[in-house]
Copies of this chain bind each other. A is one copy, B any other.
């Protein structure tokens, strides 16, 4: 690790990195988050899905809209023309009284800088929305392991998390 933090200007202050000279190429990133909740809470989410009330449908819209809001939330992020945002959910194992929910967000652009933060913001907003909609039943829910899973495109090359899916 010989790289320096790139978010500081000559005064040692934070700035938005100059990407004017960088090449616009296709870039894609996938972020992952996991929620741990009571098995009973997961059952309520599932039940809601069977009626019209669908916690995950709301979380998904939240994730997609948050991806577009990333440069308003993360101060040094560039505003980007996103060409794709997708959010997916997978129920994980139930261990005793605990159930796991996996969230994935994939974002793409053709631009001079990547979309890692957009994917991370999307998956986090979706997870927080699930917390919000279930907190009356389960305040102890925890978001675990928000992380970048994979990214492609850009000068720094591809990244794939070790042990990632």
B55 touches A57 (CB 8 A): no
Q: CB within 8 Å of B: which of A40-91? A: 40-41, 44-45, 48-49, 51-58, 60-62, 64-69, 71-89
A12–B62 CA distance with the chains assembled, in angstroms: 16
Which residues on B sit within 8 Å (CB–CB) of A144?
144-146
Query: How distant is A150 from chain B, measured CB to nearest CB, in Å?
Result: 10
With contacts A3-B137, A81-B111 taken as known, whether A12 is within 8 angstroms of B52 at the C-beta atoms is yes
The 8 nearest A-B residue pairs measured at CB: A8-B53, A18-B84, A12-B52, A143-B146, A16-B85, A20-B83, A12-B51, A12-B53
With contacts A20-B84, A61-B58 taken as known, whether A52 is within 8 angstroms of B120 at the C-beta atoms is no
- Chain A contributes a number of interface residues (CB within 8 A of B) equal to 99
A74 touches B142 (CB 8 A): no
Q: Choose among B3, B5, B44, B120 the residue that contacts A53 (Cβ–Cβ < 8 A).
A: B5
With contacts A74-B128, A75-B64 taken as known, whether A139 is within 8 angstroms of B117 at the C-beta atoms is no
Instruction: Give this chain's copy count.
Output: 6
Which residues on B sit within 8 Å (CB–CB) of A75?
58, 61-62, 64-65, 129
A55–B112 CA distance with the chains assembled, in angstroms: 23
B137 touches A74 (CB 8 A): no
Instruction: Name which residue of chain B comes closest to A161, CB basis.
Output: B140
A19 interfacial contact with B, CB 8 Å: yes
Contact with B along A136-165 (1 / 0, CB 8 A): 111111111111100100001001011000
A138–B41 CA distance with the chains assembled, in angstroms: 35
Query: How distant is A67 from chain B, measured CB to nearest CB, in Å?
Result: 8
